[in-house]
């Protein structure tokens, strides 16, 4: 029997040499959920049960799928590892999934779904009477990293709630476990804050939108916007929790705040610019309009974060992201108020003023049992004591943070910014930034070789980022994300060899089976041969210059 085409690749797969055949799930198949595995059982009935048409009713015996928690497995497999067996010599049941904790059982259930074939990813049976064959094997598996993330920017282009839930399912199918939810930026505020209603009344929509790179002469001359109500957020968080996905909400400060200042002009640098004339930004890049370093701003955002922490409980959201990136200092340099504030605080320059913002909210969040994380610019002016770093401007920020004893999530734009184009061909829709192929992503190594073993322990994991300036629809997000997110998932989960020794040919072969799964899920991925006619955007300018910074 050939090794099954699983993505991400598991640690070990043992196939029985004396039993090369298959057996099938059928109407006799039951599902027995041991204590602590009820969530995975519900998920299996809702997904695999729907696709196969099998009831998977509660029951034990030789035809059962058995889910079991065995705490003693933690030393061997960790909290997220699992053992899946369809080998009756292990136990006389159809399928046995064991793990030390519920998350591991859930990831094992994801592997079971892959073993059943692409039709197991549909929402209803497509071939009545179909055989649901499973090979005789044992899979033992555990993740390399505890942080296996995907960031989704819903500020530049809003994705409705159902689209967010769909992406949580796609993450779960790839064993990704951290959803970085980029909720605010210059181009729109996307979360309801009841004490500050103008954030959504005013800040959640813009009058028009640049179509393509900001060098493009094209505009979409219609309002764009939307936001998530607090109940929407609660639903998203609950949905993520059921899939063992943590959610990291991001509220950007002190830069990327033009939408906020448009809603509440008093939060901007009013002695430099008439903030009452601003609108939610309709272009891309970095807005010069940043928050004023005032107590009014601090109290405003404390109120925002108070509501945020209620919506994102600590068990799902131990980290809160505060952005901290791309904060132009020109308005602070021109502002008499900002300069006086720097003197009062004993700060030597504007970098330290930005650090003052970050340190304030690091203390504030720490007092409430949360951890602050920000983009690597928060290193400038001195890093807050308890803060973690998202290293996006290459490896340097992550190396510096880890060497200083801070935790790091590696997400360098040169490797894992999935808004960057996938090919150098002229047909790529709105090409942006660097060419980063499927193979490039597969060869990404999250742990820099410069780190010692002790320093490398501060690398919590890795994350792929989807910035949506040129992704005007769910289909466009799909195209940029897949299949590269599948390669990234294997990098984040699997114990791969060094980058230059990785077997991309084998991964590409396994992707042949995985494309069929993505098709069954309705993912509008980029085909291996290039974009389909309806995926192209002829005449819409991107930034197709290899090596050029994407913000140029």
Catalytically active residues are 185, 256, 326
The radius of gyration of the chain's CA atoms, rounded to the nearest angstrom, is: 24
CA distances from 82 to 20, 112, 255, 386, 500 (A): 23, 11, 43, 32, 29
Non-local CB neighbours of 44 within 8 Å, separated by 6+ positions? 31, 56, 65, 109, 112, 113
Closest CA relative to residue 267, chosen from 244, 295, 245: 295
Closest CA relative to residue 354, chosen from 374, 392, 324: 324
| Residue 99 to residue 35: CA distance in whole angstroms | 12
| Residue 259 to residue 277: CA distance in whole angstroms | 12
Percent of the chain that is helix, strand, coil (3-state, to 5):
35, 20, 45
13 phi and psi angles, rounded to 5 deg = -130, 120
212 phi and psi angles, rounded to 5 deg = 100, -165
| Residue 223 to residue 526: CA distance in whole angstroms | 29
Residue 392, classed as helix, strand or coil, is coil
| Residue 398 to residue 377: CA distance in whole angstroms | 11
CA distances from 462 to 243, 402, 434 (A): 19, 14, 19
Is the Cα torsion angle 514, 459, 326, 227 positive or negative in sign? positive
Upstream peptide bond of 269 is cis (omega within 30 degrees of 0) = no
Angle at 22 between CA 21 and CA 24, to 5 degrees: 160
What is the layout of strands, in order, in the sheet containing 82-85?
A: 12-15, 137-141, 82-85, 95-99, 64-69, 30-33
Non-local CB neighbours of 343 within 8 Å, separated by 6+ positions? none
| Residue 394 to residue 376: CA distance in whole angstroms | 10
| Residue 541 to residue 531: CA distance in whole angstroms | 16
């Amino acid at each position: 029997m050939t090794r099954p085409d699983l993505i991400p690749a598991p640690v070990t797969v043992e196939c029985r040499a004396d039993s090369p055949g298959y057996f099938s799930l059928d109407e006799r198949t039951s599902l027995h959920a041991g204590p602590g595995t009820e969530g995975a059982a519900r998920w299996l009935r809702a997904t695999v049960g729907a696709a196969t048409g099998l009831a998977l009713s509660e029951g034990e015996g030789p035809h059962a799928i058995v889910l079991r928690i065995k705490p003693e497995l933690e030393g061997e497999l960790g909290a997220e590892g699992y053992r899946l067996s369809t080998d009756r010599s292990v136990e006389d049941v159809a399928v046995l999934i064991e793990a030390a904790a519920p998350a591991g059982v859930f990831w094992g259930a994801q592997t079971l779904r892959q073993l059943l074939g692409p039709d197991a990813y549909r929402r209803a049976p497509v071939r009545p009477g179909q055989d649901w064959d499973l090979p005789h094997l044992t899979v033992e598996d555990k993740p390399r990293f505890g942080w296996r993330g995907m960031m989704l920017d819903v500020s530049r282009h809003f994705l409705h709630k159902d689209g967010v839930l769909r992406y949580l399912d796609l993450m779960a199918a790839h064993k990704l476990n951290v959803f970085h939810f980029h909720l605010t930026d210059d181009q729109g505020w996307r979360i309801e804050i009841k004490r500050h209603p103008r954030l959504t009344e005013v800040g959640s929509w813009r009058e028009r939108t640049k179509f393509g790179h900001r060098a493009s002469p094209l505009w979409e001359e219609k309002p764009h916007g939307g936001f998530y109500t607090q109940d929407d957020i609660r639903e998203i968080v609950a949905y993520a929790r059921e899939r063992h996905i943590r959610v990291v909400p991001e509220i950007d400060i002190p830069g990327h705040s033009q939408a906020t200042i448009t809603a509440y002009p008093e939060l901007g640098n009013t002695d430099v610019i008439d903030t009452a004339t601003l609108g939610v930004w309709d272009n891309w890049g970095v807005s010069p309009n940043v928050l004023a370093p005032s107590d009014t701003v601090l109290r405003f955002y404390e109120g925002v974060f108070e509501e945020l922490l209620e919506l994102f409980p600590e068990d799902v959201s131990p980290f809160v992201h505060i952005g901290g990136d791309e904060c132009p200092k020109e308005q602070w340099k021109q502002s008499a108020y900002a300069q006086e504030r720097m003197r009062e605080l004993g700060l030597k320059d504007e970098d330290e003023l930005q650090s003052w913002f970050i340190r304030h909210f690091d203390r504030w969040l720490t007092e409430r049992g949360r951890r602050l994380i920000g983009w690597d610019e928060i290193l400038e002016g001195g890093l807050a004591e308890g803060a973690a770093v998202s290293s996006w401007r290459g490896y340097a920020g992550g190396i510096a943070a880890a060497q200083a004893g801070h935790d790091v999530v590696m997400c360098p734009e040169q490797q894992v910014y999935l808004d960057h184009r996938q090919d150098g061909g002229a047909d790529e829709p709105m090409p942006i930034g660097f060419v980063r192929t499927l193979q490039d992503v597969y060869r990404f190594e999250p742990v820099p070789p410069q780190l010692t073993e002790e320093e490398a322990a501060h690398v919590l994991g890795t994350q792929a980022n989807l910035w949506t300036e040129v992704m005007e629809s769910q289909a466009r997000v799909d195209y940029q994300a897949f299949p590269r997110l599948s390669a990234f998932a294997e990098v984040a989960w699997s114990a791969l060899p060094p980058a230059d020794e990785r077997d991309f040919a084998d991964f590409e072969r396994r992707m042949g089976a995985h494309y069929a799964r993505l098709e069954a899920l309705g993912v509008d991925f980029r085909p291996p041969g290039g974009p389909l006619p309806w995926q192209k955007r002829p005449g819409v300018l991107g930034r197709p210059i290899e090596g050029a910074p994407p913000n140029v």
